[in-house]
């Protein structure tokens, strides 16, 4: 009797499958027999090749579903037979459901995989699905019965499935890793899903690639949450920037707020320590402003402040910083400006007058004329070297004292 040998292609398919599996050729004879089948049924591949499955196992032709088979010692073997066609061959695999020797650990493993939320799919070298767990059924919306034995591209609607598998196979055969690969697929129900996949290659004893185990996870909710967080972060950052701008600028007049003016003055004082350049501060206070608010209302008072702030900015060099200290009090930081130049700028500031005559209606006879008083000081060497609060406060207080001294007498 001539010794039968398995077709290498058939062997590769069967050896990659963890359950007992065999292949029947077009004449209905065994053409392939994997190691799990040898262990369970007690027949070696050389003993079964070329024989009828019915004679060996008691399997009826075309038998699928729940079956009662027998092993080499005529002992019953219970399980579910899954079959799929591959050309002229018919592949069969048995999911054992009894306590047969050697299958306890296998059943335990299957039980664990069935409760794993990730999708676990095994494929042969050609991408034919050999098995898939409940996680895969749930994520992809398919059933094992309609998927096993078919190409993995039937699992979902993904046009790049073949290129995807070729790339995976090339990486695994070369000993490379295949993990963290994300693709957007569409389930047969039409749902868009972002899948993160890792794969492990299956190899026989000779080192030949026999397929792969694909573990996939639906990361759609995670990525949507990440996008939401990024959008929220951007919104918060933009809001913080707007708030920072708002706190650094006076909302009514557009000049620097008190905090920004103090920062600019502190920077100018610190820079003067090394450069030995002068730092002057100009302070300005509107005359008769309280009477404007009392007689004409806050709207007129706001118009006066806006007009003066615009005039103040127009009189300053580019390096200067004008700011509002509060109410009708303003100050200007003049870095690297000598006192003589600061006095010239002060004269320009004093030349301001309200843009239009104030209405006579509502004016009281004792209301003072609206004008501006200006004072100028130069920072001392001690103030330049003093800590932030001390130096800044000292210069501003001296400038405000100059303004108070120059106010019109009643």
Residue 336 has what pLDDT? 93
Q: Is the pTM of this model over 0.75?
A: no
**Interacting residues of 352 by C-beta distance below 8 A, sequence separation 6+:** 307, 308, 311, 312, 371, 372
Instruction: Confirm if 32 and 7 have CB atoms less than 8 A apart.
Output: yes
User: What structural domains and CATH numbers belong to the chain?
Assistant: 8-104 (3.30.450.20), 116-222 (3.30.450.20), 258-406 (3.30.70.270)
pLDDT < 70 stretches in the chain: 1-7, 9-13, 16, 60-65, 96-116, 204-206, 240-241, 243-247, 356-367, 410
Residue 100 has what pLDDT? 42
3-state helix, strand, coil in the chain (%, to 5): 40, 25, 35
DSSP, residue by residue, 261-285: HHHHHHHHHHHHHHH---EEEEEEE
- Residue of 94, 22, 14, 83 whose CA lies nearest to 53: 22
**Which H or E run contains 125?**
none
Structure tokens at 174: 């070369």
pLDDT per position as a tens digit, 57-89: 887 666 666 778 888 888 888 777 888 777 788
Residue 331 has what pLDDT? 96
Instruction: Confirm if 44 and 38 have CB atoms less than 8 A apart.
Output: yes
Residue 358 has what pLDDT? 62
pLDDT per position as a tens digit, 329-355: 999 999 999 999 999 999 999 999 887
Residue labelled with tokens 């993160």: 196
Residue 348 has what pLDDT? 96
CA–CA dist 14, 1 (Å, integer): 25
Residue 230 has what pLDDT? 82
Residue 3 has what pLDDT? 42
Instruction: Confirm if 94 and 20 have CB atoms less than 8 A apart.
Output: yes
**Which H or E run contains 364?**
none
Residue 397 has what pLDDT? 95
Residue 1 has what pLDDT? 35
């Amino acid at each position: 009797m001539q010794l039968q040998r398995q077709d290498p292609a058939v062997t590769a398919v069967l050896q990659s499958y963890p359950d007992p599996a065999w292949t029947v050729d077009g004449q209905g004879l065994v053409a392939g027999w994997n190691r799990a089948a040898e262990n369970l049924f007690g027949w070696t591949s050389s003993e079964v090749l070329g024989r009828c499955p019915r004679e060996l196992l008691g399997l009826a032709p075309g038998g699928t579903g729940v079956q009662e088979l027998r092993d080499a010692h005529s002992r019953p073997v219970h399980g579910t037979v899954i079959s799929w066609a591959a050309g002229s061959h018919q592949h069969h695999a048995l999911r054992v459901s009894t306590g047969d020797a050697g299958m306890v650990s296998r059943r335990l493993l299957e039980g664990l995989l069935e409760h794993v939320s990730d999708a676990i799919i095994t494929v042969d070298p050609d991408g034919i699905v050999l098995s898939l767990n409940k996680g895969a059924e749930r994520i992809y919306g398919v059933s094992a019965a309609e998927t096993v034995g078919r190409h993995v591209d039937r699992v979902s609607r993904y046009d790049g499935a073949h290129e995807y598998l070729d790339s995976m196979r090339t990486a695994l055969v070369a000993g490379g890793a295949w993990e963290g690969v994300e693709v957007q697929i569409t389930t047969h129900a039409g749902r868009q899903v972002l899948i993160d996949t890792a794969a492990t290659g299956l190899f026989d004893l000779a080192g030949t690639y026999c397929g792969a185990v694909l573990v996939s996870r639906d990361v759609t909710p995670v990525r949507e949450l990440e996008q939401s967080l990024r959008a929220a972060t951007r919104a918060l950052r933009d809001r913080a920037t707007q708030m920072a701008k708002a706190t650094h600028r006076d909302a009514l007049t557009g000049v620097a707020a008190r905090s920004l003016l103090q920062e600019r003055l502190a920077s100018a004082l610190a820079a003067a320590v090394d450069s030995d350049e002068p730092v002057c501060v100009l302070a300005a206070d509107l005359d008769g402003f309280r009477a404007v608010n009392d007689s004409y209302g806050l709207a007129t008072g706001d118009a006066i402040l806006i007009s003066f702030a615009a005039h103040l900015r127009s009189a300053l060099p580019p390096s200067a910083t004008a700011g509002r200290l509060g109410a009708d009090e303003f100050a200007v930081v003049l870095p690297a400006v000598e006192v003589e130049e600061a006095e010239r700028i002060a004269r320009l500031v004093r030349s301001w007058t309200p843009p239009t005559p104030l209405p006579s209606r509502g004016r009281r006879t004792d209301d003072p004329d609206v004008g501006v008083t200006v004072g100028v000081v130069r920072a001392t060497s001690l103030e330049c070297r003093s800590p932030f609060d001390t130096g800044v406060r000292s210069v501003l207080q001296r400038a405000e004292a100059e303004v108070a001294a120059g106010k019109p007498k009643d």
